[in-house]
Amino acid sequence: MNSREISNFQQLIKLHPLLKDEQRDRITIMISGKKFIVQNRQLKVFPETLLGNEDKRRIFYDNKLHVYRFNRHPSIFESILYYYLNPGILIRPPHIEPEIFYDELRFWNIDESLIETFIEEDMIPLDNIRFLPVQKWRRIIWKTLMYPESIHFPYSELVIGICILTTLLSSIPFIGEIIPTVTELNKLQNILNVEQIFFPLYIRSFYIIEILSITIFSIELNLRIISAPNFSLIIYDIINFLDLIIILSSSICLISYHLHNIRYINNFLSFYYWLLILKSFRIYRLARYMLRLRLLYKTIAICLNEICALIISVIFCMLLFGTLIYIIDNSEPESNTRNILDGFWLAFITLTTLGYGDIYPRSFEARIAAGLCALIGIIIFSMPTTIIFIKYTKLIQNKWKQNRNIRYLISS
């Protein structure tokens, strides 16, 4: 053995206690069959987490294999391990859905303030918890009215079909009222040879359908209130307020129908137009039974920032190009833009690519400005539309994942 080998051997003997301590400090973690070896001192950097606290992780220890066994996502655990090896740095793998990643972070007891940075505004928790009342009869009513899809097939489809059919039938009297009210009022007066038409107008069959619809809506709302496990579930559901508005507006119309016949109320027509607007809310009852319609409303609510940015951009471009087209085209003797407001209207219908044709540029320079306005309008409207579509698609995917983890809890 030469002097160099002897020197290396002596250094190895000196390092032996350190190597032995390092070997003793190693722990083996098994994640769904994939093995990871890490130093315990690196995990103790975050003692409040599951891996950093020996007492918390002890229940996952396998005494036979001398490893910690976890049935978790291996790819996400690599990010968790990177969080320990590079303290405080947490990166979500791009192929992992945010809900799944968020659920794993909660399992490993990662710092809540750090988890919040990964929470997206359109995320849906994977744990879909639905509360039910204690009494069995209330539980049956609540599930039938609020979660009809939870009833065994084919009763679920039957309940949803009846509710949708009732809503659609209730719209028939509304259509029968609004058509003569808005379109043919004067002609109808001449045909009937009367000086004044009293509203609402009800054919006998429509009158019966209206009474039945109000009765069904009232019974349904009362049953929902009686069977609710918690009254807050009724308060925070906007569709219940829509039902209340529908019932009140329709009831007032029916009462006014009888009062008109005995000439107790005059000048009711102006107020009746507002009642028609309130009665039109009944079509929104379909949102309770049509998932994709509800998700569309939620997507619009999530994308309010993008919609506000779109409106501001449209106003800015409308002012800019409207003024520009008016100044350029106003010198033409046959110009359509008689004032600055016409220029704003031309810029708006060009931005939105409507082009009614009532106002159009005449000069060559104004047409170039209008063409540039149309190109900018396409760009402005395409970006928010794409964002809304992506958000809507993502909400559908999240809802599908959430429906696989539905849990019912009895509310005391």
Cα gap 233→138, rounded to integer Å: 14
Q: Which residues lie across from 27 on neighbouring strands? A: 38
Is domain 293-411 in CATH 1.10.287.70, yes or no?
A: yes
Pairing between strand 128-132 and 34-39? Answer: unpaired
Alpha-carbon torsion (260, 265, 271, 277), positive or negative: negative
DSSP designation for 130:
E
CATH number of 18-122: 3.30.710.10
Cα gap 17→15, rounded to integer Å: 6
Cα gap 25→48, rounded to integer Å: 19
Residue-by-residue pLDDT tens, the chain, 412 positions: 566 665 665 565 555 554 455 666 788 899 988 889 888 888 888 888 888 888 888 899 988 888 999 999 888 888 888 888 887 788 888 888 777 888 888 889 888 777 766 665 545 555 567 788 888 888 888 888 888 777 776 677 788 888 888 888 888 877 766 655 444 555 555 555 655 555 555 567 777 888 888 898 899 899 999 988 888 888 888 888 888 888 888 888 777 766 654 444 445 555 666 777 788 888 888 877 777 888 888 888 888 888 999 999 999 999 999 999 888 887 777 777 888 888 899 899 999 888 888 888 888 888 899 899 999 999 999 888 888 898 888 888 777 766 666 777 777 6
304-329 vs 340-351: helix axis angle to the nearest 10? 130
3-class DSSP state of 142: helix
pTM: 0.58
C-alpha to C-alpha distances, 272 to 104, 182, 321, nearest whole angstrom: 56, 12, 41
